[in-house]
C-alpha cells in the first residue's frame, strides 16, 4: 500500500519505520526536518506526562518502554540509555497510575528537605539529537523517503494517510481540541551526573544524557510563544540547582522552547473520509510523545494492516 505519513517528529518517524518495515511504500511529508520539530526539544525521559486516556497510555507506554530497553541493549547509535532516577513529591501521593508500565518502581525512604515522598525507578533516557536522525535512517533503510514540504490539507495522492502532525492538526484537520502547552529548557554541560531527577510541581527536571544534561522546565497551557524567556531560564536553573547542587557550576550550552501538542485524549483512530483516502490519525501526545511512540506506532500498523 502507498502511504503518506504527515509529520517527521517522533510519532511520524516511528509510524513510518514500522510501516516501511512491514513492506508498505512510505513517504513522510513534513513542514520541517526532524531536528526542527517539537520532538527534538524533548528531554527526553520516558515518563507519561499530560497524556490520556490512562488505560491506553499505560499500555502504549509499557510497550514503548520495552522497545527502548531493547534499543539501549542492542543499538548504541540510537542514543537510548537506561538510567535510575527519582521523582520527588511535595505532598503525599498515590502510586502513579502508570506504575504497571515500569518494572522496578519503589517508594523512597528518605526524601530530601521540602519533600514528603518519592519514587525511584529505572527509565529510558533518549537523546533526541541522536535518536531522530537514527529513526530517519531506519525509515530510509526500509525504503521510505522523507520530503520536506508544508501541506495545507491532508494529501489525497496515496492509498492511506497517517496524520502525525502534532499541534498542526489544529489547522490541518480543524481539531480545536489540540492546543499548545509551552515548555522551556536549558542544555548544560555534563558534570558527571548519571541519575535523573524530577519534581512535577515545577515542573523541575534534570535529565543527564551522554554528553550534556537537559534542565527543565515549564508548563504553560495555551501559550504558543516559541522564543526563550531569559528570566524563566534563570528561574528554571535556580530550581534545578536546589534539586541537584552539582549543577551550580555547569556551563549553559543552549536554551530551547517547544510547544507540546496537548489534547484531552490522544487521537489514535482510523477514519474513512467522504472524499480521499482513509486517514489514521495519531496526534495529541502532550508531554509524552517519546514515551508513547512505539506503542502508538504499533497500533497504527495494526489499523493499517498488511501491504
Ligand atoms: C520542553 C519539552 C520537554 C519534553 N520532554 C518530554 C519527555 O521527557 N518525554 C516525552 O515523552 N515527551 C516529552 N515532550 C513531549 C514531546 O516532545 C511531544 O509529545 C512529541 O514531540 C510529539 O511528537 P509529534 O511527532 O506528535 O509532534 P512534533 O514533534 O511536533 O512533529 C510534528 C510534525 O508535523 C510536521 N508538520 C506540522 N505542520 C505540518 C504541515 N502543515 N505540513 C506538513 N508537516 C507538518 C512538523 O514539521 C513535524 O515534523 C517534551 C516536550 C517539550 C516541549
Q: Are strands 279-283 and 267-271 parallel, antiparallel or unpaired?
A: antiparallel
Sequence-separated (6 or more) residues with CB below 8 Å from residue 287: 49, 50, 51, 181, 183, 219, 260, 262
Q: Is the dihedral of CA 166, 277, 1, 22 positive or negative?
A: positive
pLDDT in tens, the chain (307 residues): 999 999 999 999 999 999 999 999 999 999 999 999 999 999 999 999 999 999 999 999 999 999 999 999 999 999 999 999 999 999 998 999 999 999 999 999 999 999 999 999 999 999 999 999 999 999 999 999 999 999 999 999 999 999 999 999 999 999 999 999 999 999 999 999 999 999 988 999 999 999 999 999 999 999 999 999 999 999 999 999 999 999 999 999 999 999 999 999 999 999 999 889 999 999 999 999 999 999 999 999 999 998 8
Q: List, as one string, the DSSP characters of 64-95.
A: HHHHHHHHHHH-GGG-EEEEEEEEEESS--PP
Residue 37 CA, ligand 1 centroid: distance in Å:
6
Residue 283 CA, ligand 1 centroid: distance in Å:
9
Q: Are strands 160-163 and 2-6 parallel, antiparallel or unpaired?
A: parallel
Please report where in the chains the cell 525511584 appears, as a residue. Answer: 120
DSSP annotation of 45: B
Indicate whether residue 124 lines ligand 1 (CB < 6 A): no
Indicate whether residue 304 lines ligand 1 (CB < 6 A): no
All structural domains of the chain, each given as residue ranges with its CATH number in brackets, are 2-304 (3.40.50.720)
Indicate whether residue 10 lines ligand 1 (CB < 6 A): yes
CA R_g for the chain = 19
Indicate whether residue 168 lines ligand 1 (CB < 6 A): yes
Residue 43 CA, ligand 1 centroid: distance in Å:
12
Question: Which atom of ligand 1 lies at the shortest distance from residue 185's CA?
Answer: 1
Coil, strand or helix at 108: coil
Residue 107 CA, ligand 1 centroid: distance in Å:
31
φ, ψ at 271 (rounded to 5°): -130, 130
Residue 70 CA, ligand 1 centroid: distance in Å:
23
User: Residue 112's pLDDT is what?
Assistant: 92
How far is the C-alpha of 165 from the C-alpha of 173, rounded, in Å?
Answer: 10
Coil, strand or helix at 204: strand
How far is the C-alpha of 57 from the C-alpha of 101, rounded, in Å?
Answer: 9
How far is the C-alpha of 77 from the C-alpha of 130, rounded, in Å?
Answer: 7
Indicate whether residue 285 lines ligand 1 (CB < 6 A): yes
Q: Which three cell numbers stand for residue 193?
A: 551526573
229 burial level (CB within 10 Å; 0-12, 13-18, 19+): middle
Q: What distance lies between CA 76 and its chain's CA centroid?
A: 19
Indicate whether residue 9 lines ligand 1 (CB < 6 A): yes
Indicate whether residue 38 lines ligand 1 (CB < 6 A): yes
Question: Which atom of ligand 1 lies at the shortest distance from residue 8's CA?
Answer: 49
Indicate whether residue 43 lines ligand 1 (CB < 6 A): yes
How far is the C-alpha of 123 from the C-alpha of 204, rounded, in Å?
Answer: 17
Question: Which atom of ligand 1 lies at the shortest distance from residue 149's CA?
Answer: 43
Indicate whether residue 228 lines ligand 1 (CB < 6 A): no
How far is the C-alpha of 273 from the C-alpha of 278, rounded, in Å?
Answer: 6
User: Residue 306's pLDDT is what?
Assistant: 84
User: Residue 53's pLDDT is what?
Assistant: 98
CA-CA distances (angstroms) from residue 163 to 28, 49, 268, 283? Answer: 10, 22, 9, 7
Q: Are strands 80-89 and 117-126 parallel, antiparallel or unpaired?
A: antiparallel
Residue 111 CA, ligand 1 centroid: distance in Å:
33
Question: Which atom of ligand 1 lies at the shortest distance from residue 207's CA?
Answer: 8
User: Residue 274's pLDDT is what?
Assistant: 87
User: Residue 307's pLDDT is what?
Assistant: 81
Amino acid at each position: 500500500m502507498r502511504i503518506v505519513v504527515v509529520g517527521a517528529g517522533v510519532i511520524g518517524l516511528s509510524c513510518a519505520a514500522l510501516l516501511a518495515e512491514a513492506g508498505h511504500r512510505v513517504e513522510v511529508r513534513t513542514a520541517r526536518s526532524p531536528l526542527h520539530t517539537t520532538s527534538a526539544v524533548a528531554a527526553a525521559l520516558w515518563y507519561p506526562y499530560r497524556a490520556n486516556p490512562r488505560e491506553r497510555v499505560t499500555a502504549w507506554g509499557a510497550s514503548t518502554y520495552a522497545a527502548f530497553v531493547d534499543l539501549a541493549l542492542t543499538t548504541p547509535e540510537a542514543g537510548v540509555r537506561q538510567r535510575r532516577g527519582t521523582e520527588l513529591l511535595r505532598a503525599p501521593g498515590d502510586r502513579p497510575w502508570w506504575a504497571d508500565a515500569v518494572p522496578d518502581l519503589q517508594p523512597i525512604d528518605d526524601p530530601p528537605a521540602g519533600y514528603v515522598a518519592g519514587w525511584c525507578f529505572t527509565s529510558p533516557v533518549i537523546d533526541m539529537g541522536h535518536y531522530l536522525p537514527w529513526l530517519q535512517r531506519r525509515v530510509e533503510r526500509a525504503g521510505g523517503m522523507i520530503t520536506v514540504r508544508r501541506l495545507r490539507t491532508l494529501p489525497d495522492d496515496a492509498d492511506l494517510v497517517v496524520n502525525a502532525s502534532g499541534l498542526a492538526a489544529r489547522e490541518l484537520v480543524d481539531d480545536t481540541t489540540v492546543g499548545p502547552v509551552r515548555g522551556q529548557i536549558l542544555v548544560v554541560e555534563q558534570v558527571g551526573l548519571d541519575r535523573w531527577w524530577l519534581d512535577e510541581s515545577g515542573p523541575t527536571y534534570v535529565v543527564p544524557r551522554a554528553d550534556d544534561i537537559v534542565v527543565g522546565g515549564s508548563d504553560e497551557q495555551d501559550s504558543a510563544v516559541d522564543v526563550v524567556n531569559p528570566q524563566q531560564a534563570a528561574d528554571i536553573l535556580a530550581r534545578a540547582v536546589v534539586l541537584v547542587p552539582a549543577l551550580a557550576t555547569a556551563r549553559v550550552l543552549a536554551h530551547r522552547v517547544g510547544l507540546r501538542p496537548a489534547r484531552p485524549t490522544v487521537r489514535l483512530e482510523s477514519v474513512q473520509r467522504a472524499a480521499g483516502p482513509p486517514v489514521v490519525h495519531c496526534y495529541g501526545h502532550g508531554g509524552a510523545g517519546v514515551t508513547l511512540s512505539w506503542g502508538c506506532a504499533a497500533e497504527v500498523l495494526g489499523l493499517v494492516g498488511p501491504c
